[in-house]
Structure 1
Amino acid sequence: MPAEPAAFYGQLREHGPVVPVHLDGTVPAWLVIGYDVCNQVLRDGLRFSRDLGLWGVTERGELPPDWPLAPHVTRMDNMLYASGQEHVRLRGAFKAGLRKVGAHWRNTQIRIVADQLIDSFVDAGRADIVGQYAVPLPVAVLTRLFGFPLEEAEVLQRAVLTLLDGGEGALAAHEELSQTISMHVHRRRREPRTDMVTGLLEAGLTEEETIKTLWLSINAGIGATTAWTANACVLLARAEDVRIDLRGSLRDIPSIMERVLWDHTPVQQVIGRIATADVNLHGTIVRRGDLLILSLAGANLDPRFGGPDARTSNTNGNGSHLAWGNGAHECPAPDLAKAIVEIGVGRAWTRLDDLELTDPSQRIRWRDSIIVRMPEELNVSWDPARARARARTLAPIGE
């Protein structure tokens, strides 16, 4: 992804709010970058279906073999690809599974994991806050919530990030992830526990539906919360004014999180929607069976919210961003994502309140994924003696 998204989408806007693109060089699609158009497509489930089985490219057998993005466009028995009453049933079962894990236990697990990760590097006085914290935090938390054995966390982390990058190794990662999930669902069918997977099975999903729902939950959960946490850490480390405002209680962690959702949307593009009929979409003729990629990042950076000088004031406290999507398929678990990021970023800031970039001139390298926006690494430093003193005062939870 580009280092400056606003400039990148600004150039694309010269073609209008709906831009013709090719995925991975050969597969045609439309990239929707206008806020109003994106909202329209998200909310109109009749003309723009989530059922990717209607995609003309696959119907005509034109999808290249071994296409790395294939796992993201292959229809599965989960709520992402369903509509109508089937979507209501699958989404309801997912929410029932979430309720199997109480909010208090969930939040405690997030704090425990956050403190354990910080404890592992705090005395060094420096760390890659992305690789050593933002990436493993959501993985470890969701591993516990879904009831996976802890030794499988590394498999989940590696497979999901490779799959989201969509390049070489993506298909192998998809197979590895699917096998790991399948084994775990069979395990929970035999040995129920107080975890989310047991909750999905108890809600009436078949094993296959549970496997596909878990595949979606892990990819979306790890991908979105990892990117959100990492991008919030980038803002903390790079923006001195943000750190000053936090120390002076002029801002809080939720406001930092909201800023990230607007300016560095964690889930950049959603693949996608299929036009169910020919339609004139804000001046662009989209044919039946065409694929639309919804650029949540492009929509959130739409100039309708003002230029660089006015944008921040127009969006502060404004929850109308599209980071959660919209319509029937909007994110079904915002509270879980918010809890992981708020507690995780908050814990890092509480214990390392003097963190800053190790090298102020370091350039951030962003992952190649078109789906999530996330830095490869971010090297930060702090005073370990100060951190140890704060740890004693704040009494981290630990194990």
Structure 2
Amino acid sequence: MTESTPVPPPGCPAHGSGERIPMYTPDFAADPHSYYAYMRHYGPTAPVELAPGVEATLVTDYGAALDLLQNSGDFRKDARRWRDLNEGRVSPDSPVLPLLAYRPNCMFSDGAEHLRLRRAVTESFGRVSSHRLSESVDRVARYLISQFSNRGSADLLNDYAKQLPLFVFNELFGCPAEIGDRVMFGISGIFDGVNAEQANQVLFQAVSELVTLKRTRPGEDVTSWLMQHPAQLDDQEMAHQLVLLLGAGAEPLRNLIANTLHLLLTNDRYAQNGLVEEALDDTLWRNPPMSNYAPHYAARDMEFAGQKLSAGDLLLVSFQAANATSAGSNRAHLAWSAGPHACPSKEPARLITLAAIEYLFNELPDVELAVPEESLTWRPGPFNRALGHLPARFTPVDPRRGMPPQTPQIQQRPAATATQARERGGLWSSFLSWWKA
């Protein structure tokens, strides 16, 4: 290796220019910035491995990322173009397949079909007013905090950030108790890797039942509005758009809330000066919740950013690495992606995150990190930037008047199977019972 070539970071097995850099190890999760610095010696793109045997090209340069995201002629979203999958080089049980395989939704479609589905999604979700969204976040935040406020300690990831987006989206989508319990089981299982195959089946069955319900009993909710949209989505299309919206509203928001809380709790400048919004923007810049994603497929054999590509090659954008190469302000980050497939709900996502954090600090003003910062761990995975836990402590606070008696901690009630969730009642059922009390 020449003197000008960086040495791979500790734990990285890539010791030659022909080696692919693994993005699924604990070492990568612990210090991704060192890996990105090493990747840059390849140029604007780097050869990576997303999971054992799953190869991709990662775009790490800001300008190249924009070129890819805005070029819908040379780069397509339809995963049925993925050559390695089509030729059997990707195992059907690969852990990354659920987030890369084709689904008939607006994320994995191109052209006129993409425009039709995206318009239905954006216009339906756009009918949720900021006032209603704020009310929903406050209601859910109040409930979740009531579950741990008198303990004086909590895991702000699993007790709060992980649960809040799921509760809010269940409410906005009009989920009744039993369907909502299975939605939460399904989403959590897919992203946490616990019974992922079963969780995926449970989730799709639950949203399919929700579609059937709303066909006969529509309400003032996103599911009903999506169903009534002029795009005239059929039941299959409805189910797939709902799975996409629930997934996109769960994992990224969970990480965004937790990562912003992490910055606020480890950097006094933000918390002491009330700079929650600035902390949010800095988090989106340095630790975006989905740090590497936006899968695209080369439409033809070509050269891109100095790299030769074959038709059907998989490319991903590293939002986290690309942001670091931009000379712009932290508002110029790529965390929401860009181009025709940019996140359609960035303003609601900002509102949910800011409202959730501000409510928490209002209720628990002396909350602080309960462990040394260096002891925190980040969940391995090629796509997300996600903490494993966020332990905090604070002065115990009695639940407000009208709150129900304290129930068991959320993490003490895992939904091990869909059958158990039905038999004992799940998290969503508990929330609805509290809300209606």
Give the corresponding residue for 2:77: 50
Q: Check if 1:5 corresponds to 2:32.
A: yes
Contiguous gaps of at least 5 residues in structure 1: 306-313, 392-397
Q: Check if 1:177 corresponds to 2:203.
A: yes
Alpha-carbon distance in 2 for matches of 1:126, 1:83: 47
Q: Which moved more, 1:208-217 or 1:80-89?
A: 80-89
Once the 2 structures are TM-superposed, how far is the Cα of residue 140 of structure 1 from its aligned partner?
A: 0.5
Give the corresponding residue for 1:263: 286
Paired AA for residue 238 in structure 2 = T
Give the corresponding residue for 2:419: none
Alpha-carbon distance in 2 for matches of 1:25, 1:68: 9
Q: Do 2:146 and 2:399's aligned partners in 1 also have CA atoms closer than 8 Å? A: no
Distance 1:361 1:84, change over 3 A: closer
Please give the secondary structure, in 2, of the residue aligned with 1:280: strand
Alpha-carbon distance in 1 for matches of 2:33, 2:213: 46
Q: Do 1:17 and 1:282's aligned partners in 2 also have CA atoms closer than 8 Å? A: yes
Alpha-carbon distance in 2 for matches of 1:172, 1:293: 27
Alpha-carbon distance in 1 for matches of 2:210, 2:385: 29
Q: Do 1:97 and 1:200's aligned partners in 2 also have CA atoms closer than 8 Å? A: yes
Distance 1:206 1:70, change over 3 A: same
Once the 2 structures are TM-superposed, how far is the Cα of residue 47 of structure 1 from its aligned partner?
A: 0.4
Divergent runs of 4+, >6 A: 386-389
Q: Do 1:109 and 1:141's aligned partners in 2 also have CA atoms closer than 8 Å? A: yes
Distance 1:385 1:71, change over 3 A: closer
Q: Do 1:352 and 1:387's aligned partners in 2 also have CA atoms closer than 8 Å? A: no
Distance 1:133 1:178, change over 3 A: same
The number of residues matched between the two structures is 375
Alpha-carbon distance in 1 for matches of 2:116, 2:80: 20
Alpha-carbon distance in 1 for matches of 2:214, 2:37: 48
Please give the secondary structure, in 2, of the residue aligned with 1:373: coil
Once the 2 structures are TM-superposed, how far is the Cα of residue 62 of structure 1 from its aligned partner?
A: 3.2
Q: Check if 1:140 corresponds to 2:152.
A: no
Q: Which moved more, 1:17-26 or 1:93-102?
A: 93-102
Q: Check if 1:62 corresponds to 2:74.
A: no
> What whole-Å deviation, never above 9, does each CA across 1:230-259 have from its counterpart, x for those lacking one?
11111122222322222xxxx2x2211111
Q: Do 2:185 and 2:203's aligned partners in 1 also have CA atoms closer than 8 Å? A: no
Alpha-carbon distance in 2 for matches of 1:232, 1:387: 25
Please give the secondary structure, in 1, of the residue aligned with 2:334: coil
Q: Check if 1:228 corresponds to 2:251.
A: no
> What whole-Å deviation, never above 9, does each CA across 1:155-184 have from its counterpart, x for those lacking one?
43443243235x563333222211111111
Paired AA for residue 4 in structure 1 = D
Paired AA for residue 364 in structure 1 = L
Once the 2 structures are TM-superposed, how far is the Cα of residue 10 of structure 1 from its aligned partner?
A: 1.0
Distance 1:38 1:65, change over 3 A: same
Give the corresponding residue for 1:75: 102
Q: Do 1:73 and 1:271's aligned partners in 2 also have CA atoms closer than 8 Å? A: no
Paired AA for residue 17 in structure 1 = P
Alpha-carbon distance in 1 for matches of 2:177, 2:400: 28
Paired AA for residue 41 in structure 2 = E
Once the 2 structures are TM-superposed, how far is the Cα of residue 28 of structure 1 from its aligned partner?
A: 1.9
Once the 2 structures are TM-superposed, how far is the Cα of residue 268 of structure 1 from its aligned partner?
A: 1.3
Q: Do 2:187 and 2:247's aligned partners in 1 also have CA atoms closer than 8 Å? A: yes
The alignment-based identity, stated in percent, is: 29
Once the 2 structures are TM-superposed, how far is the Cα of residue 68 of structure 1 from its aligned partner?
A: 2.4
Alpha-carbon distance in 2 for matches of 1:338, 1:353: 21
Once the 2 structures are TM-superposed, how far is the Cα of residue 323 of structure 1 from its aligned partner?
A: 0.5
Q: Do 2:149 and 2:398's aligned partners in 1 also have CA atoms closer than 8 Å? A: no
Alpha-carbon distance in 2 for matches of 1:172, 1:139: 19
Which of residues 335, 340, 353 is equivalent to 2:347? 335
Contiguous gaps of at least 5 residues in structure 2: 1-27, 404-433
Q: Do 2:150 and 2:398's aligned partners in 1 also have CA atoms closer than 8 Å? A: no
Alpha-carbon distance in 1 for matches of 2:237, 2:105: 6
Q: Do 2:149 and 2:397's aligned partners in 1 also have CA atoms closer than 8 Å? A: no
**Correspondence list, 1:363-374, <5 A:** 363-374=375-386
Once the 2 structures are TM-superposed, how far is the Cα of residue 276 of structure 1 from its aligned partner?
A: 0.7
Distance 1:387 1:9, change over 3 A: farther
Which of residues 19, 35, 44 is equivalent to 1:17? 44
Paired AA for residue 11 in structure 1 = Y
TM-score (norm 1): 0.88
Please give the secondary structure, in 2, of the residue aligned with 1:29: strand
Alpha-carbon distance in 2 for matches of 1:14, 1:130: 35
Which of residues 206, 214, 217 is equivalent to 1:188? 214
Once the 2 structures are TM-superposed, how far is the Cα of residue 386 of structure 1 from its aligned partner?
A: 10
**Correspondence list, 1:1-399, <5 A:** 1-165=28-192, 167=193, 169-203=195-229, 204-246=232-274, 251=275, 253-302=276-325, 304-305=326-327, 315=329, 318-360=330-372, 363-384=375-396
